Amino acid sequence: MSFRSFISVDIEAGQSLRELCKELKDCGAALKVVNPDIIHITLKFLGDVEESAVDDICGVIKESANDVSRFEMKLQDIGAFPSKNRIRVVWVGIPNPGPLKLIAERIDMGLSPLGFEMEKREFKPHLTVARARSPNGMNRVQEIMERWKNTDFGNQMVDRIRLKKSVLGPRGPTYYTIEEVELL
């Protein structure tokens, strides 16, 4: 049996992040805004994974984080992929991710022998807060991004890495923690 999954750091959305999500949701643009209760940083998207591979995947996560202590990182600024003029994804940035990039790179390399394709792009840690469904209303999104640029969305303690199961439904995805690895 397989399930859709990813490896992540869950984020506790503060008031300002919740306000940003609400403003994006209410602006009338063709956006799918992420529910702040399930916001996270994806370290590696795995796609469909066989249940029999879970132990091996968790072993890679443990090995990738075995010498990393819990740490704090700042959530700051707002931007878009691929650019503010061609918005596909609206994100909140992590200007100094600490060891997060190292863990993500180790996970990527460690999963390669298990058949997971390595990332072609450099890991850029961020929180996806919305995805564009079409270009409609993106001028309003650009205005919101201008108002929120350089905003400090608070600090986040990173103390665990999780293997998550994603179940897509009519109201959006539901995420379940399959395993978690605590940092030192």
Q: What is the pLDDT of residues 19-40, one digit of tens each?
A: 999 999 999 999 999 999 999 9
Low-confidence ranges of the chain (pLDDT < 70): none
Bridge partners for 121 per DSSP: none
Which pLDDT score, from 0 to 100, does residue 67 have? 96
- Between CA 136 and CA 143, with CA 139 as vertex, the angle to 5 degrees is 140
Domain harbouring 58, CATH code: 3.90.1140.10
Split into its structural domains, the chain has a count of: 1
Active site residues: 40, 126
Give the domain range for residue 18: 2-182
